[in-house]
Amino acid sequence: MNKRRRGLGLFSGGLDSMLAATVLRAQGLEVTGIYFVTPFFGPDRARQSAAHLQLPLIVLDITEKFFPLIYHPPHGFGRGHNPCIDCHLLMLREAAALLAPEGFDFLFTGEVLGQRPMSQHRNSLNLIARDSGVPELLLRPLSAKLLTPTRPELLGWVDREKLLDLNGRSRKPQIALAAAHGITDYPAPAGGCLLTDPGYAARLKEILRQQGEVSRRDLELLKWGRHFRLAGGAKAVVGRTQRDNQALEGLLEPGDRVLKVRGYPGPLVLVPGQAPDADLEVAAGLAGAYSDAPSETQVDVEVQGGGGASIIHLTTAPKARFKEWLVGGGN
Ligand code: SF4
């Protein structure tokens, strides 16, 4: 009896990855998804989509291996701070390392020829396949008929005739295919990766310019609130919502300062690490400006952390006064 072949697929939880798994499973192949976690993309959507398909899903954290790509990805960045080609390569190499130990026969992805400007041109697909280390085992079921046949096709593990020839940016064929396969729960295209988010990417680029390198905590902080780079070099993060305030509180470290205006509802302002007094005063000004205290009102701002507590008395100023220090957009 023929062995039932097993495919391991990069599974973002987006429609393309769902379809790639579905198309292979419809041929009787055994398929498993794999999702790689970093501070920039989490597994929630992949888990939801895998559950919808009843697809087994492996989730692995690759943050430490991803760090070098934040600084110097060999193939460069996309429009944001997204090193898509090197990110794909890292994921494929990590997945390829599981093939033999976990008993998988080949890899697959939901890539579609010509769909994305940076990573899905024919040259990029070829380069990614070559540098993945397993080009002959890397199947792209959605565009396979337009690509060089892979070993799973050549050896008849997969019926190439039942694979697809999708090409370009239109989503219509995928939507029709989803309907044909009864896939009703899938996310909107794009999104999901903070490195492609213009605000996050701008904040990350700025902190890299300032510090040269980033910690995991820095990357988490960049997800919350408005960020200000003050004249003395300190950072002030101003919560926009209750959720921001709670998240910032959860990211506090010894030595950080937290500022809040007394007597009025207002944001939590976090100043991470060391800060000159002049910057703390500006941070206090931010706490006042973004509070409900009217402009030109005398307020007290409590400063806690950094080995003590103090009060800064000030007259609130309009938010526009602080605009020049705002990093990565917002208001
Ligand atoms: S968008 Fe983000 S997750 Fe996707 S390949 Fe690019 S860097 Fe990686």
pLDDT, mean of residues 74-95: 96
Q: Which of 119, 132, 193 to mutate to test the pocket of ligand 1 (most atoms within 8 A of CB)?
A: 193
DSSP state of 38: B
pLDDT, mean of residues 250-270: 97
Instruction: Please answer whether residues 330 and 198 qualify as being in contact, where contact means their C-beta atoms are separated by less than 8 angstroms.
Output: no
Please tell me the residue having the least CA distance from ligand 1 atom 5: 84
Q: 35: burial class by Cβ within 10 Å (0-12, 13-18, 19+)?
A: buried
Ligand 1 contact via 77 beta carbon (within 6 Å): no
3-class DSSP state of 92: helix
Atom of ligand 1 nearest to the CA of 194: 2
Atom of ligand 1 nearest to the CA of 87: 8
pLDDT at 189: 80
CA-wise closest residue to 201 among 329, 74, 91: 329
Residues 6+ apart with CB under 8 A from 6: 29, 30, 31, 32, 103, 104, 105
Confidence check: pLDDT of 22 > 80: yes
Residues 6+ apart with CB under 8 A from 9: 17, 20, 21, 24, 31, 32, 33, 34, 107, 108, 109, 110
Ligand 1 contact via 87 beta carbon (within 6 Å): yes
Ligand 1 contact via 15 beta carbon (within 6 Å): no
Distance 58 CA to ligand 1 centre (A): 18
Please tell me the residue having the least CA distance from ligand 1 atom 2: 193
Amino acid symbol at 79: R
Alpha-carbon gap, residue 172 to 150, rounded angstroms:
26
Ligand 1 contact via 83 beta carbon (within 6 Å): yes
Q: Kindly report, residue by residue over 35-64, the tens digit of the pLDDT.
A: 999 999 999 999 999 999 999 999 999 999
pLDDT at 145: 97
Taken in order of first residue, the domains within the chain and their CATH numbers are: 6-193 (3.40.50.620), 197-327 (no CATH)
Ligand 1 contact via 120 beta carbon (within 6 Å): no
Q: What percent of the chain lies above the pLDDT cut of 90?
A: 92
pLDDT at 306: 83
The first and second tokens of residue 139, run together, are 């199947």
Q: Kindly report, residue by residue over 150-188, the tens digit of the pLDDT.
A: 999 999 999 999 999 999 999 999 999 999 999 999 998
Instruction: Please answer whether residues 28 and 4 qualify as being in contact, where contact means their C-beta atoms are separated by less than 8 angstroms.
Output: yes
Residues 6+ apart with CB under 8 A from 106: 5, 7, 8, 99, 137, 138, 139, 150, 151, 152, 157, 158
Distance 191 CA to ligand 1 centre (A): 10
DSSP class per residue in 181-196: TT----PPSS-S-GGG
301 phi, psi to nearest 5 deg = -110, 125
